[in-house]
Structure 1
Amino acid sequence: MMEKLLGSVCGKIKDEPIVELKKVKGTVVLMKKNVMDVTDFGSSILDRFHELFGKGVSLQLVSSVNGDSANENKGKLGKEAFLENWISKITSLNAKDEASFDVVFNWDESHGIPGAFIIKNHHHSQFYLKSLTLEDFPSHEGPIHFDCNSWVYPTHRYKYDRVFFTNKTYLFDDTPQPLRFYRNQELKNLRGEEISSGGMLKEWDRVYDYAYYNDLGSPEKGKDYARPSLGGNSDYPYPRRAKTGRKPNKKDPNSETRLFLLSLSIYVPRDEKFNQVKFSDFIGYAIKSIGQVFVPEIKAVFDKTINEFDTFQDVLNLYEGGVRLPEGQTLDKIRAHVPWELLKELIRSDGERFLKFPTPDVIKEDKTAWRTDEEFGREMLAGVNPVIIRRLQEFPPISKLDPQQYGDQDSTIRREHLEKNMNGLSVDEAMEKNKLFILDHHDALMTYLRRINTTTTKTYASRTILLLQENGTLKPLAIELSLPHEEGDERGAVSKVFTPCDDGVENSIWQLAKAYVAVNDSGYHQLISHWLNTHAVIEPFIIATNRQLSIVHPIHKLLKPHFRDTIHINALARQILINAGGVLERTVFPGKYAMEMSSAVYKNWNFTEQALPEDLIKRGIAIPDSSEPHGLKLVIEDYPFAVDGLEIWYAIESWVKEYCCFYYPTDDVVKGDTELKEWWKEVREEGHGDLKEKPWWPKMETQSELIQTCTIIIWVASALHAAVNFGQYPYAGYLPNRPTVSRRYMPEVGSAEYAELEKDPDLAFLKTITAQFQTLLGVSLIEILSRHSTDEVYLGQRDTVGWTTDDRPLAAFERFSAALVEIETRITERNDDVALRNRVGPVKVPYTLLYPSTSDTSRVGGLTGKGIPNSVSI
């Protein structure tokens, strides 16, 4: 009996094949938590203790060739392998440092080539996993690379396995069958179907979901801090923002509770947060403007010790010497009101002056050229907000406001106001020759002016008409300032028209009229051109991409660099900038109505019109012309934003076309992509759900629609944002050039204000525009927003080299980068051409906001005034 049993066992051993496992060496690159956060000392000690008694980090390769029929045909798994030398690997405290670890896999060659791996972190702290590379893999030419770039938390934080894929790119139908489960499961995880916590999302949750802008107000503080919920409401439509899962506010269940003001730990998916280098930069620069956190304390000090700006030299002292402490005040007295950590950043080493700022470009060469009419017009073409001016196509300008509700809002500007300064042209002749233009801030502001002007703000809705001269510059002809009728909106607007004058009090009035226009343009720029049209509208695309497009999907790979840091900067903005009582409300004229006003403008947002050519055509700045290289002719030939922007636009479009056509050779492939279909459906119906019924949305059924869509997204996230963001400090760092608030109406003849204007026009000007405290706070803010991070990744660059294994897309990207280098050369040449007067202007500031900065040597960070980051990253 024993012999028979023994024979049976031996037979089985003899008949079954002996599996020979091949040793495969790999290299894992990661950053330990203790490198990134030196305060987490306890977890680091526990991790080392744990390594002594067990295996800390395990990896398992997943076959892309053979599925396991006993396990839902998932790719067969290799044996667990463990990182080696975790304890002995010395890492510095430099946030940039990363460490390489060896790992040896025992792999069954019959499983074929791996297409993914599972990683389990049995430590007590998280680490940032950058990559895994397998060298000399059997039956595979060259290394197998996995780009990971993700935080991996301890395994007990997840209810699922963390899976990473190779750098191969697949449409869903092309995905190897053994990997499809993992592809689908990962998207479910990111949609929050497998989260480990309920309610408020935790830092290790990787959930991308939608929420309304219902976290801006603090209704528990009283009605002054209550704000309407934006989004999901026909009265206040808005793009969606990333969900945090915080509880409803007890005072108003429609509002989400806010974090403590000082907290910057607002939830965003962990991989969306700034890396430590950038966060350190951000905090370092933000210290100077953290005043908004201590507004009552600092404002009390300023009110007691610092007077209004009395002269323009007082303003210049902010850059040339800082603000001198008033007589009788000492640092000890101010320290009683202001935290020492903040004060140390504000004071100079001599202890006598504080709040010294870098000199803005607009006054570096000439301290008064900003006041010229030529510079006033040039900045509409090459300044911080060059996206509003349009060609005048009807005269007088017509309002689109409902006359039943707002009465007659049409312009009161007449031919006689203009023609006296039109170099002999008539209005009709100038319009026929495409020479009249308008900066129109009337309709968008008029509906809010009555409420805005009940506060300390005193401002107007404005229209500015300009003439395109033979030398290519814009000459302002007239400014119309309008207020609501005192007897009710239905009575229409009460308007006054002002025209240029070179001498006397009339010149001072003209300078004030331009200041009111600049106030309007500054507020509209911050709220609409900058915040709404780049930051806010892009966030839904980021959420939908992570929820519906696998990381191995070609469109995910195309768009991913253009989403870097956006969700995090937007979350920080909701916490300290655009919230009730935040910096923006305190420094920009709409005040508490700022975000509500941006909602009103969003009603007319049109995705397809975000394409630069479509935008220029709509504004009448460009006309179709088949004789031109791209079928488009600018009516203002020396329009720096448009000239440089079109070159960037077409370079992006060419790159996107090559890329998309490789993966989508026909329209049928576009139609058949289920992930793409769900992505676009979610963008329209969820992310921008308040506008889902608009007819202008592309249907996403053709190559051209896909190319158009991706080009618009990349343009908005990169070049458009660069154009409206990084010029803030160069131009608006000197607040008299770009005031954000007006505190007095235009002085009437016979009034005390008029007499003051005659006697001391500079003092009257300074008393009208942004006050000193608001100036300090506002300049501090835009200094931060205008700085490039030292780790920025610019257009034409990728932060990883092997982001795909497909040669043709890689070659196309190289051509894109090379095209941007050529554009840099042409921009430099145009800036050196003295015939192009709008390129530099009276202030001698070259237009470089759309200079790509593709060279790695340009990545120095700071107030460079040039460079196009890939994403809305600040």
Structure 2
Amino acid sequence: MEDLRAAMAKPKGAATVELNGNKPKTINGRVVLMKKNLTDVTDPAASLLDRVRELIHHRVSLQLVSATHVDFANWKRGKLSMPAYLEDWVATLIPITAKEATYSIAFEWDAETMGVPGAFIIRNHHHSQFYLKNVTLYDDHGSPWVHFDCNSWVYPTNRYTYNRIFFSNKSYLPSDTPEALRDYRMEELENLRGNGQKGELKEWDRVYDYAYYNDLGSPEKGPEHARPVLGGSAKYPYPRRGKTGRAPNKKDPNTESRLSGLDIVLLNIYVPRDERFSTVKFWDFLAYFLKAVSQTLGTAIDDRNILSFNSLQDVLDLYEGHIKLPNNDTLKGIRNAIPWTLVKELLRNDGEKFMKFPIPAVIKEDKNAWRTDEEFARETLAGLNPVIISRLREFPPTSKLDPEEYGNQHSSIIKEDIEKNMNGFSVKEALDDNRLFILDHHDGLMTYLRRINSTSTKTYATRTLFFLQDDGTLKPLAIELSLPHPQGDKHGSVSKVFTPEEGGIGKSIWQLAKAYAGVNDSGYHQLISHWLNTHAVIEPFIIASNRQLSVLHPIYKLLHPHFRDTMNINALARMLLISANGVVELTVYPRNYALEMSSAIYKSWDFTEQALPADLLKRGMAVKDSRSPNGISLVIKDYPFAVDGLEIWSAIETWVTQYCSIYYPSDEAVQKDNELQSWWEEIRNEGHGDLKDKPWWPEMSTKHDLIQACTTLIWMASALHASVNFGQYPYAGYIPNRPTVSRRFMPESGTKEYAELENNPDLAFLKTITPQDQTMIGVSLIEILSRHSADEIYLGQRDTPEWTSDEKALAASERFRDRLIEIEKNIVTRNNDGSLKNRTGPVKVPYTLLYPNTSDYSREGGLTGMGVPNSISI
């Protein structure tokens, strides 16, 4: 190569160094990073101190590592350049908020004797950390030559026992890794595993390891605050979480101690630093968290003093700015302690105000349409939990509970209950014609119902039957409400069946029956469809990927965008939401048994059934059809979740197939990939170790195994999560539509509750469902969870166009994005088709939860009700 220095168009500030009177060859580069800024409340003087030190001596050095030329004196590793230093650190202003800065750097490097750089070692001798985004080296014509996509926080060297190394954006299977980089690749993985590091992990530790869910309880506060350890036992199986290394609880050594004090205020729970929210997202999240706190100050859950809404107008007042808060000394003290000017600055200028909730979509066009049977049924196909409804294949519905332990749990619904509303069909005819469907929450709840109803909750295990009409809509036929037998579990259940009524008290009773079914579905949605089946089960895959797949591995590059922020939001959930007396326990009907109940359901979790086509077949919502693109045909043609979802599934599968085929020409290549095999073995034996003996685990011995596993993971982390998360506020922000709690049983004739239902049905309804205090907390929570962050990255997008140097992979990625744009157009067309009545329904809310948002590069956040992020990022 010609003298690089002479021919290259250098970035500003690049330097050349003379040795013995001769000018060495020089490579110029650009470094993009983000300094620690003044909004870091944990160390506000850090940036100033770094600037002072930089005046004395350059504090950040980079050292290139050759990918092609080995230094035998360096244990056959790549040849190293002399250290080079960042220029103009002092001249760059300290930002008030997070902003990127660009620095020039120049390396002594002779391509003829040193080859092509494949990595670099960086040393940070400053007081504080910085976020290293990327490094680009330029060739002798001033064009980009080698790019390093870093996206990592680099702490001071005294925080590490090893060198921080970053690799170029070229992918290698382990066997194809250049000899010069091989040891660096293996050592970096060892560093991320932590080698059994003991003690509490700190923010600069980069350790990915496993732990049980033993951090949910606070037994030192009393037995009512204790919770069982989830994971590691046949009784309470569970996916693993990220290790924090905190000390055991002094009261119970099997329980990990919980955070307290300032750590809670700063949301400071350990996850590897690169897994934490970006600075932009953290402040966005904190702003809305403060808003939620301000809206619920003084609110406390007290079973002895529960305040109901007096009318539906009281509920509407939440969105019309008439919320009343207690005016007491505690509230005043908290308000005075919070720097409200700072809070006001942190809140994005989106037109929203404190003490006022946005109007949920479900009541935006029509305040009463949610009460209709048509909308109640439609939301099982296009609402926030469209993944539970299944086709009824036998009548009456049966139970899978062990009759030796739970007696007769089969349904008591008889054909006379439902045939009167089946448009002339008999039960047999409807079964044969695939017209009967069920929302079945009986078995999953019945085994816990006796304990749940010993709390302030008073609810039922429900079964709801629907009939598919000729226009594609579902009609509710019956709701069965079941309780454990008063003489004991072995005596089975006691059930009552309710059917639609058009007027009088029968109509009010039917409305209550729908509410009990809605309560069941709300709890199952939050604990299983949302938390367990996306957040919890994905975390072990993230941990294993970082422990076993090098950043150089093509599968790591494929999956990494789909893991963004998940460990952070899960850690926050364990700290604030799903812990003992956390928000979920306070606002969802299973109360203290919420996570324990999800453990019982995890026993039957099957990774292969998380694939959308397999899920639809399992639920009977589709039948096998070799003529269809996905090999299945939907039973309900107008099933918005499934129709949109199958298009996205197919697009993901095509993209993954094309990508994997670049690197794996045969099944043998999959089998010989030692990192891939270790990854899959660890997921099965460690991450999901309680289910390791299940026969359904793929062997990971073929390209098909790999493609299906990666497609399923991407689907779960992106579209599946989007479909059950971002509809929370649009549908459940109005609590009468999706109540989370029921506080009293169906009133019996002759009681004062029955008389109240007859005289004032709305008041009786509101006294039964979620009260004011729980509504305020619950709605505040789902407002946060339903928001897209300002820096959201959607399916089909990447945080940088230079994520790989492989042109074939980039071309396949572009085809994937183009296909998603076509899907967006298809969704808009379907939503505008008046014959597809399930797309909008009586509430006039178009189904956009699986609208990818790929073409929207403005990346506006907020309560959009649309968009499929790459990952479980909230």
TM-score of Structure 1 vs Structure 2, range by shorter chain: over 0.9
1:711 CA displacement: 0.2
Hey, what does 2:300 align to over in structure 1?
A: 299
Q: Could you report, residue by residue, the CA deviation over 1:229-273 in whole angstroms, capped at 9, with x for unpaired residues?
A: 000011000000000000111111111000015451000000000
- Give runs of aligned pairs for residues 642-681 of structure 1, distance below 5 A: 642-681=642-681
Structure 1: how far apart are the matches of 2:466 and 2:626? 28
1:299 maps to a residue whose letter is A
> Is this contact kept in 2: 1:290–1:342, CA < 8 A?
no
Asked if 1:265 is matched to 2:268, the reply is yes
> Is this contact kept in 2: 1:291–1:298, CA < 8 A?
no
Hey, what does 2:507 align to over in structure 1?
A: 507
1:452 maps to a residue whose letter is I
- Give runs of aligned pairs for residues 616-627 of structure 1, distance below 5 A: 616-627=616-627
2:129 maps to a residue whose letter is Q
Asked if 1:64 is matched to 2:67, the reply is yes
Q: What is the identity percentage for the equivalent residue pairs of Structure 1 and Structure 2?
A: 65
Change (3 A) 1:255 1:301: closer
> Is this contact kept in 2: 1:373–1:476, CA < 8 A?
yes
2:526 maps to a residue whose letter is Q
SS of aligned partner of 1:117: strand
Change (3 A) 1:107 1:194: farther
Structure 2: how far apart are the matches of 1:46 and 1:281? 27
Structure 2: how far apart are the matches of 1:456 and 1:709? 43
TM-score by length of 2: 0.94
Structure 2: how far apart are the matches of 1:688 and 1:161? 32
RMSD: 2.2
Change (3 A) 1:858 1:464: farther
> Is this contact kept in 2: 1:66–1:76, CA < 8 A?
yes
1:90 maps to a residue whose letter is L
Structure 2: how far apart are the matches of 1:684 and 1:361? 41
Hey, what does 2:402 align to over in structure 1?
A: 402
- Give runs of aligned pairs for residues 64-83 of structure 1, distance below 5 A: 64-83=67-86
1:354 CA displacement: 6.9
1:37 maps to a residue whose letter is D
> Is this contact kept in 2: 1:381–1:640, CA < 8 A?
yes
1:53 CA displacement: 1.9
SS of aligned partner of 2:467: strand
SS of aligned partner of 1:34: coil
Hey, what does 1:285 align to over in structure 2?
A: 288
1:108 CA displacement: 3.4
Hey, what does 1:247 align to over in structure 2?
A: 247
> Is this contact kept in 1: 2:216–2:574, CA < 8 A?
yes
> Is this contact kept in 1: 2:294–2:354, CA < 8 A?
no
> Is this contact kept in 1: 2:26–2:110, CA < 8 A?
no
Structure 2: how far apart are the matches of 1:387 and 1:80? 56
Q: Could you report, residue by residue, the CA deviation over 1:115-163 in whole angstroms, capped at 9, with x for unpaired residues?
A: 000000000000000111001159x984210000000000011000000
Hey, what does 1:135 align to over in structure 2?
A: 138
2:166 counterpart (146, 153, 164) = 164
Hey, what does 1:736 align to over in structure 2?
A: 736
2:165 maps to a residue whose letter is V
Hey, what does 2:114 align to over in structure 1?
A: 111
Structure 2: how far apart are the matches of 1:509 and 1:44? 65
1:575 CA displacement: 0.2
1:65 CA displacement: 1.2
- Give runs of aligned pairs for residues 416-455 of structure 1, distance below 5 A: 416-455=416-455
Q: Between Structure 1 and Structure 2, how many residues are aligned? A: 844
Q: Could you report, residue by residue, the CA deviation over 1:189-230 in whole angstroms, capped at 9, with x for unpaired residues?
A: 0000396xx400011000000000000000000001000000
1:111 CA displacement: 1.4
Hey, what does 1:872 align to over in structure 2?
A: 872
Asked if 1:341 is matched to 2:342, the reply is no
Hey, what does 1:361 align to over in structure 2?
A: 361
Change (3 A) 1:675 1:338: same
1:74 CA displacement: 1.0
Hey, what does 2:482 align to over in structure 1?
A: 482
Structure 2: how far apart are the matches of 1:367 and 1:230? 42
SS of aligned partner of 2:838: coil
Structure 2: how far apart are the matches of 1:701 and 1:387? 30
TM-score by length of 1: 0.94
1:71 maps to a residue whose letter is N
Structure 2: how far apart are the matches of 1:61 and 1:354? 52
Hey, what does 2:810 align to over in structure 1?
A: 810
Hey, what does 2:193 align to over in structure 1?
A: 191
Hey, what does 2:26 align to over in structure 1?
A: 23
> Is this contact kept in 1: 2:519–2:742, CA < 8 A?
yes
Structure 1: how far apart are the matches of 2:404 and 2:21? 88
Change (3 A) 1:342 1:157: closer
1:166 maps to a residue whose letter is S
> Is this contact kept in 2: 1:609–1:615, CA < 8 A?
yes
1:67 CA displacement: 1.5
SS of aligned partner of 1:123: coil
Q: Could you report, residue by residue, the CA deviation over 1:532-559 in whole angstroms, capped at 9, with x for unpaired residues?
A: 0000000000000000000010000000
Hey, what does 2:631 align to over in structure 1?
A: 631
2:125 counterpart (112, 122, 131) = 122
Asked if 1:710 is matched to 2:713, the reply is no
1:55 CA displacement: 2.0
SS of aligned partner of 1:27: strand
Q: Could you report, residue by residue, the CA deviation over 1:580-626 in whole angstroms, capped at 9, with x for unpaired residues?
A: 00000000000000000000000000000000000000000000112
1:855 CA displacement: 2.1
Change (3 A) 1:342 1:308: farther
Hey, what does 2:542 align to over in structure 1?
A: 542
1:35 CA displacement: 5.5
- Give runs of aligned pairs for residues 698-847 of structure 1, distance below 5 A: 698-847=698-847
Structure 2: how far apart are the matches of 1:137 and 1:670? 39
SS of aligned partner of 2:845: coil
1:356 CA displacement: 1.6
Structure 2: how far apart are the matches of 1:621 and 1:44? 58
2:104 maps to a residue whose letter is D
SS of aligned partner of 1:248: coil
Unaligned residue ranges in structure 2 (runs of 5+): 1-19, 348-352
1:169 maps to a residue whose letter is S
Hey, what does 1:12 align to over in structure 2?
A: none
> Is this contact kept in 2: 1:793–1:799, CA < 8 A?
yes
1:631 CA displacement: 2.2
Change (3 A) 1:172 1:507: same
> Is this contact kept in 1: 2:174–2:673, CA < 8 A?
yes
Change (3 A) 1:485 1:302: closer
Q: Could you report, residue by residue, the CA deviation over 1:157-206 in whole angstroms, capped at 9, with x for unpaired residues?
A: 100000000010000111100100100000000000396xx400011000
Structure 2: how far apart are the matches of 1:77 and 1:565? 34
1:343 CA displacement: 9.1
SS of aligned partner of 1:102: strand
> Is this contact kept in 2: 1:22–1:106, CA < 8 A?
yes
Structure 2: how far apart are the matches of 1:141 and 1:772? 62
> Is this contact kept in 1: 2:65–2:118, CA < 8 A?
yes
Asked if 1:519 is matched to 2:519, the reply is yes
Structure 1: how far apart are the matches of 2:133 and 2:543? 22
1:323 CA displacement: 1.4
1:333 CA displacement: 7.5
Structure 2: how far apart are the matches of 1:39 and 1:404? 58
SS of aligned partner of 1:143: strand
> Is this contact kept in 2: 1:323–1:354, CA < 8 A?
no
Hey, what does 1:11 align to over in structure 2?
A: none
1:290 CA displacement: 3.2
1:339 CA displacement: 6.4
SS of aligned partner of 1:64: strand
1:672 CA displacement: 0.5
1:90 CA displacement: 2.0
1:330 CA displacement: 4.4
2:539 maps to a residue whose letter is E
Structure 2: how far apart are the matches of 1:637 and 1:23? 64
Hey, what does 2:3 align to over in structure 1?
A: none
Structure 1: how far apart are the matches of 2:498 and 2:187? 65
Structure 2: how far apart are the matches of 1:39 and 1:674? 42
> Is this contact kept in 1: 2:307–2:771, CA < 8 A?
no
Structure 2: how far apart are the matches of 1:142 and 1:277? 29
